[in-house]
Structure 1
Amino acid sequence: MTPAPPAHFAMFSIAAHGHVNPSLDVVRELVARGHRVSYAIPAPFAEKVAETGATPVVYASTLPTDDDPDAWGTELIDHVEPFLNDAVQALPQLAKAFEEDVPDLVLHDITAYPAPVLAHTWGVPALSLWPNLVPWEGYEEEVAEPMFAELKASPRGKAYYARFEAWLAEHGVDTPPDRLIARPRRALVLIPRALQPHADRVDESVYTFVGACQGARAGQGEWRRPAGAERVVLVSLGSSFTKRPEFYRACAEAFRTLPDWHVVLQIGRFVDAAELGDLPGNVEVHSWVSQLAILRQADVFVTHAGAGGSQEGLATATPMVAVPQAVDQFGNAEVLQALGVARHLPMEDVTPERLREAVLALVDDPEVARRAARIQADMAQEGGTRRAADLIEAELDRGPRRG
């Protein structure tokens, strides 16, 4: 395959691990191929972006961060309105930053609303890097319309959509807000097809599944199984909804009487290890761990079933106990259970006894191991990072190149 001539790509995302992390290995690969990547990102993630070889283009954001998950509020409008507010104030910053350095192609996370607007203004193609499940044919009627009906009928919802439409029209974009977000011109899906509900109804002329783009992640550190640990379970609720000391205590208690099991507890930044009280000797506690390094050796993964964690569990063929916390995690938990490689255990049902029962049932079932190995093999065929980079380079042929 003839290498693509060097190009300038501009990637846009928000300050959230679940939206930045899936793109990083793809960006690293593009840089390794000789391309220049400018990555628009708020300051807290600039260093992580720079490590890929991309140039961080720092902009000020008004979105709540992973440090303050409670700031998102409790109603649906509280979860969608901040993205529009942020886009309106970020667009002038980003337009100015790229004024003298317009890219050949725009790459963007699904939450980066200014990106397709800027691509339209610049007359360059845009490609969405999709970090979670995508809409299928019939999704609007089956899911979106019932979910948003009350919002669209409310005064606050009507004002939100009117403002969104006016903002798009101001910049010459005639795409309705819902389609701008959920129906891009072209998208690379950075999750395995196995995680996608109704995958047979997804329009693959728009959405191409490239699977997990994880990379080696050697820079995140290594982990070694302790001597005498016959089985290892990793417990992690991700980076946002981690303020759950009672849950971590239950996980520790579940294995107090099973000394041949070793428990790795990742408790996040919002819980102090002292809050967990007297822990068994077979439990180690960290605010953060090198998750993929542990999963490569673990026997079970107790996870919130976020898109990133779910696909890491599948990629390492690790059976999972899914304890979802928010948004798409509930759907992911159901998909994992339907695949036969996980148990869905709602948070309100978690007790040491039920958790232990779920874990032991998974590791004692040879069918679970067989299914997990098959999915792992299927994922390896999806192409991952290299295929994503190939497809991004192919998009350059669809639009004019800049000198």
Structure 2
Amino acid sequence: MHVFFTSIGAAGHINPTLPLVRELVGRGHRVSYATDERLRFAIESVGAALVPLPELALPVVNSASHPGDWGTVMRHMMETLIRYQSQIIGDGIIDDYVELQRPDAVCYDNTLTIPGRRAADRVGVPAIALHPTYAANENFSFQSMAESGAGNAPGETGNLFQQMREVGLELADEMGGQAINLFEGPPAPLNIVFIPREFQPAADTFDERFHFVGPSLGARNDDGTWTPPGGGPLLFISLGTSPFNRNTEFYQMCIDAFGDGKWRVALAIGTQVDPAELGSAPPNVEIRPHFPQLDVLRNADIFLSHTGMNSTMESLYHGVPIVAVPQQPEQVANARQIEQLGLGRHLTGRLSPDLIRQAVEDVHADPAVAGNVTDMSRVLQKSGGARAAADAIESHLGARLNP
């Protein structure tokens, strides 16, 4: 069986799929993967063949460069993503590959990658949607979540999901094509959702088309190595890998908050911030562009996180409570879900070293949070991950290929 994957070249979208690809290859299936050439090593290391796509160059605009102007930041991001997908469609890379190779299925990232679903429909092969975050159906959507306030960024009065939808409509009109809906699309016959049903809003409205397999974790061969520091509780701090991680002020507040030595701190600052901007770090604070996140979370006591969905699931899988400092709208939704489920705390308003420190201390000392996180960790570890996803794909395609 030949399964074709396609996704944009972003860690939050690629990482959940890699253990699934490895699992399928281990079962004797052929897997090809269309994504950014820069991810060749990651794709080939799990046994798939890369089908290179053009590089996705996100604009260097973020909450630091446009303080308080979330609408402008997200509009730049969405315009870039929509035009990128239009370029792929125009170049015909995915259409031509699916037409020539006739894979048994196209697994496409439902959040962003429209060309995959389009190619599958055009050629008439099964389309399988991969959801790295919340799934949408006829009863629940990102739009409805935003209307309830869950998707609005701090300090932003407008509905950013609605703004993103409007950008898609405007650009589609300019290009003379069909509107591109970045977040919802009609449900595929099979949907693999990399979160547990227990974390999904309106979970009881999702039918047998949706398989909530939880996080798909596995070794990342390019993550580097890390040795846990000794002495004191361990705090992991990261704002993820998107352009929104350029936040020198936040990193400096964290150093000021935890520089007294009680906490051992692993501080990931991304590649957009020069460590020299932060001055000399105290001995208990280790600063890197990035850490091998799964290794750190196996040892962490608290995760001070942007609450991207991958990071959220990885933290909860390892039983680590979260103090949430979301940087973009869907992360705000995750942060609120974390707080509502008693899995940590969502920081809002203007931050300060004292506020950050107190939130971390409070969450670390809260037995109710500890119990809730332990329960959620058990749920995640029993969800099935890559094996459950591969089982669902094989079962679905077996039924389609052998009616």
In the superposition, the TM-score normalised over structure 2's length comes to: 0.86
* RMSD (Å), alpha carbons: 2.7
Shifted more, 294-303 versus 212-221: the winner is 212-221
* Distance apart, 1:148 and its partner CA: 6.4
After superposition, the Cα gap between the structure-2 partners of 1:362 and 1:178, relative to the gap in structure 1 and judged at 3 Å, is same
Spell out the pairing of 1:221-260 with structure 2 (5 A cutoff): 221-227=224-230, 229-240=231-242, 241-257=244-260, 259-260=261-262
Q: 2:339 aligns with which of 333, 337, 340?
A: 337
SS in 1 for 2:345: strand
Task: In structure 1, give the amino acid aligned to 2:275.
Answer: A
SS in 2 for 1:39: strand
Is the Cα–Cα contact under 8 Å of residues 253 and 280 in structure 1 kept in the other structure?
A: no
Hey, what's the Cα distance between the residues in 2 that align with 1:302 and 1:224? 19
Q: 1:292 aligns with which of 273, 291, 294?
A: 294
Hey, what's the Cα distance between the residues in 2 that align with 1:217 and 1:24? 9
Is the Cα–Cα contact under 8 Å of residues 124 and 400 in structure 1 kept in the other structure?
A: no
Hey, what's the Cα distance between the residues in 1 that align with 2:360 and 2:218? 28
In structure 2, the partner of 1:139 is 141
After superposition, the Cα gap between the structure-2 partners of 1:284 and 1:367, relative to the gap in structure 1 and judged at 3 Å, is same
* Distance apart, 1:182 and its partner CA: 2.7
Q: 2:83 aligns with which of 82, 85, 88?
A: 85
In structure 1, the partner of 2:46 is 52
Corresponding position: 1:26 with 2:26: no
After superposition, the Cα gap between the structure-2 partners of 1:217 and 1:177, relative to the gap in structure 1 and judged at 3 Å, is closer
In structure 2, the partner of 1:388 is 389
After superposition, the Cα gap between the structure-2 partners of 1:305 and 1:100, relative to the gap in structure 1 and judged at 3 Å, is same
Unaligned stretches of 5+ in structure 2? Answer: 148-158
In structure 1, the partner of 2:217 is 214
In structure 1, the partner of 2:357 is 356
Task: In structure 2, give the amino acid aligned to 1:248.
Answer: Y
Spell out the pairing of 1:107-256 with structure 2 (5 A cutoff): 107-110=107-110, 111-135=112-136, 137-139=139-141, 142-143=144-145, 159-162=170-173, 167=177, 177-178=180-181, 181-185=184-188, 186-201=190-205, 203-217=206-220, 220-227=223-230, 229-240=231-242, 241-256=244-259
* Distance apart, 1:180 and its partner CA: 9.0
Task: In structure 2, give the amino acid aligned to 1:87.
Answer: Q
Is the Cα–Cα contact under 8 Å of residues 43 and 58 in structure 1 kept in the other structure?
A: yes
Once the two structures are superposed, what CA deviation does each residue of 1:358-379 show, in whole Å capped at 9, x if it has no partner?
Answer: 1111111222111111111111
In structure 1, the partner of 2:106 is 106
Task: In structure 2, give the amino acid aligned to 1:160.
Answer: L
SS in 2 for 1:321: strand
In structure 2, the partner of 1:171 is none
Once the two structures are superposed, what CA deviation does each residue of 1:149-203 show, in whole Å capped at 9, x if it has no partner?
Answer: 6777x7x765435467x645xxxxxxx75499432223110122333223233x2
After superposition, the Cα gap between the structure-2 partners of 1:140 and 1:234, relative to the gap in structure 1 and judged at 3 Å, is closer
Q: 1:36 aligns with which of 30, 34, 38?
A: 30
After superposition, the Cα gap between the structure-2 partners of 1:101 and 1:94, relative to the gap in structure 1 and judged at 3 Å, is same
In the superposition, the TM-score normalised over structure 1's length comes to: 0.86
* Distance apart, 1:134 and its partner CA: 1.8
Hey, what's the Cα distance between the residues in 1 that align with 2:308 and 2:44? 25
Task: In structure 2, give the amino acid aligned to 1:39.
Answer: Y
In structure 2, the partner of 1:172 is none
* Distance apart, 1:224 and its partner CA: 2.7
Identity of aligned residues (%): 35
Once the two structures are superposed, what CA deviation does each residue of 1:195-220 show, in whole Å capped at 9, x if it has no partner?
Answer: 3223233x233322100101244663
Is the Cα–Cα contact under 8 Å of residues 305 and 311 in structure 2 kept in the other structure?
A: yes
Corresponding position: 1:305 with 2:307: yes
Is the Cα–Cα contact under 8 Å of residues 143 and 161 in structure 2 kept in the other structure?
A: no
Shifted more, 129-138 versus 231-240: the winner is 129-138
Unaligned stretches of 5+ in structure 1? Answer: 1-6, 169-175
Corresponding position: 1:265 with 2:258: no
Once the two structures are superposed, what CA deviation does each residue of 1:88-123 show, in whole Å capped at 9, x if it has no partner?
Answer: 331312223344312011101121111111111221
Is the Cα–Cα contact under 8 Å of residues 168 and 180 in structure 2 kept in the other structure?
A: no
Hey, what's the Cα distance between the residues in 2 that align with 1:294 and 1:150? 36
Is the Cα–Cα contact under 8 Å of residues 231 and 262 in structure 1 kept in the other structure?
A: yes
SS in 1 for 2:72: coil
Hey, what's the Cα distance between the residues in 2 that align with 1:220 and 1:315? 19
In structure 1, the partner of 2:376 is 375
In structure 1, the partner of 2:150 is none
In structure 2, the partner of 1:97 is 97
Give the number of the structure whose alpha-carbon radius of gyration is greater: 1
Corresponding position: 1:64 with 2:52: no
